Structure 1
Amino acid sequence: MQKVKFKNRNWDTVAHLHLPDNFDESQKYPAIVCVHPGSSVKEQTAGLYAGKFASKGFIAVAYDASFQGESGGEPRYLEDPATRVEDIRYAVDYLITLNFVDKEHIGLLGICAGGGYAANAAMTEKRIKAVGTVVGTNTGRAFREINFIETLKAVSSQRTAEAKGAEPMITNWTPNSAEEAKQAGIKEKDMLEAIDYYRTPRGEYPTANNKLLFTSMANLIKFDAFHLADVLLKQPLLVIVGDKVGAFGSYRDGFELYNKAASKSKQIHIVKGASHYDLYDKPEATAEALDKLVPFFQENLLQA
């Protein structure tokens, strides 16, 4: 693995480039861009999948989204779907500059919100030849189910305050601990598992600091990751979901994407007994996902 940087508009994206075993710079390799969830960074689940792909002969890149982690961009902690989609294009731009990447065989994997961004990017980024999602989520759909009009009013009030000199409001993606969630009366499985992954030694990482610029909510609420998938998403598609369904909605989003995509070659795989966050890092669940993803990418990138 190499730590690399590539330009994204006028700031740097910081990434990890995962290289195959016995890497030979004189050879050409297919490549996969791995897109992390909201609130995440390259060292977490996207990096786990990237490392596994590299062990199977692919070049894989996992990067920090703009405004987050080690990547540049202002304002900090902004989660902007349009920029998240553009990040993917810049990652592809970077890969095609590498002499050892087969430019005609680039794939894309997205996890959770990254899955929605991946599907959306692939609709118009035709350098991407195959798309996989793991518990892919349509973030806009999720946020529109939670008092979204009141949230938009609050965003408008906050923007007015900031225009008059107030400090930007930074909120949390999740409560900082299970105890904090308990005190807030939160009992929902996906949220509690998110805390267990992101806010404990299981998956926490210093640059995944649980910070979200509150005004991001306006762009998140209006975003529909799957809009026009029935017209524009034509690459081979593999959707991975778990059947332990939680409130984040990745199970139904997975089926919506599968049913809607215009792809002639598409499949959906359900990992039995797996929750949303099991598919981030739990060995049994991720192994089953990879048992489907690796041959999918081999067929569509190595043999295409």
Structure 2
Amino acid sequence: MADSRIKKVSYRNLGWSSAADLYLPPDFDEGRRYPAIVSTHPIGSCKEQTAGNVYAAALAREGFVVIAFDASFQGESGGEPRFIEDPSIRVSDIRFAIDYLVTLPYVDAARIGAIGVCGGGGYTINAAMSDRRIRALASITGVNFGRLSREAFSNFDPIGALQAMAEQRTAEARGEARHVINYLPPSLEAAMSAGVADIDVLEATDYYKSPRGMQPNGATSGLFSFNSAAMAWDAFAHAELLLTQPLLVVTGDKPGGFGAYRDSCEIHGRAASKTKQLAVIEGWSHYDLYDRPEPVALALEKLIPFFREQL
């Protein structure tokens, strides 16, 4: 049976519609005005996974209206071609989610916050620098997708990767089939058989490719020819000048190849925010913070009072 506290909504984006789940507090009353939070999912994820069913659900239980949306070109949201992961559009998606929230009579437009998980954390940080409607923000095991694309995702050969992407895009423009890559091995067993040793790749595969976290729209896929958009992008550019809102950065202390620990420490140091906190959850990894009850509870011990105070 569907949860009556989760309302499926859609709203206009640039030239297509965005699909979202609106998480409502248990005692929801349309006559009241609530603080609201935009929750942004990781790279290759969807609104039904950690940003939605874990963090949005938990914050809604604490009295916030929370919107978890599917990125443009992904999940149930519109946009063609499918599986584009373009950082500028992902940041724009956050602005359109706020546009929707401010039309709701039960949302207090002066009390809007934002959270993001993994790549969604990097996008949330970047969005806050250019959208002052975000009054406070939190990054959960956040990753700078531009930095990751230039490094591990290109095998530390960004120029070579860009050349391959250019050739593929030319081929597709001339009528060849789109090349959609999967960011992860098909299963944990396949990853281990291939000799994968990195904790982030192994734990991501365990989360996304098993019943633990698998969702129909959690495709972990990207349109290879369009991935060049991330190469020259930096989630943290101008943070010393423009990121002034209250900031909470949550990360595990087990570092992996995706670099969340590194990126979390970097943005905490660079942000101009007068109120900022780095919460290192000791003994836990990047993907533990997606859904494992103990580290998630520790993260929420930081998140809930932070948003109550700042919104």
TM-score by shorter chain over 0.5: yes
Structure-2 separation of matches of 1:113 and 1:300: 23
CA contact 2:248–2:278 (8 Å) conserved in 1: yes
% identical aligned pairs: 52
Structure 2: gaps of 5 or more residues: 1-5
Structure 1 residue 183 displacement after superposition = 3.9
Q: Find the partner of 1:222 among 232, 244, 258.
A: 232
* 1:45 matched residue in structure 2: 50
* 1:127 matched residue in structure 2: 133
* 1:101 matched residue in structure 2: 107
Corresponding residue SS for 1:128: coil
Corresponding residue SS for 1:197: helix
CA contact 1:242–1:274 (8 Å) conserved in 2: yes
CA contact 1:112–1:137 (8 Å) conserved in 2: yes
* 1:280 matched residue in structure 2: 290
Q: Which amino acid aligns with 1:258?
A: H
Runs of 4+ in 1 over 2 A off after TM superposition: 182-185
* 1:200 matched residue in structure 2: 210
**1:70-96 residue CA offsets vs partner (Å, 9 max, x unmatched):** 000011000000000000000000000
Q: Which amino acid aligns with 1:159?
A: R
C-alpha RMSD over aligned residues: 0.8
Q: Which amino acid aligns with 1:194?
A: A
Does 1:211 pair with 2:216? Answer: no
TM-score norm. by structure 1 comes to 0.97
Corresponding residue SS for 2:48: coil
Q: Find the partner of 2:200 among 190, 195, 198.
A: 190
Structure-2 separation of matches of 1:217 and 1:59: 33
* 2:246 matched residue in structure 1: 236
Structure-2 separation of matches of 1:231 and 1:278: 32
Structure-2 separation of matches of 1:210 and 1:253: 21
TM-score norm. by structure 2 comes to 0.95
Pairing 1:19-168 to 2, within 5 Å after superposition = 19-47=24-52, 48-145=54-151, 146=155, 147-168=157-178
Structure 1 residue 49 displacement after superposition = 0.3
Corresponding residue SS for 1:46: helix
Q: Which amino acid aligns with 2:177?
A: E
Structure-2 separation of matches of 1:204 and 1:284: 20
Structure-1 separation of matches of 2:226 and 2:119: 14
* 1:175 matched residue in structure 2: 185
Structure 1 residue 222 displacement after superposition = 1.4
Structure 1: gaps of 5 or more residues: none
Structure-1 separation of matches of 2:202 and 2:158: 22
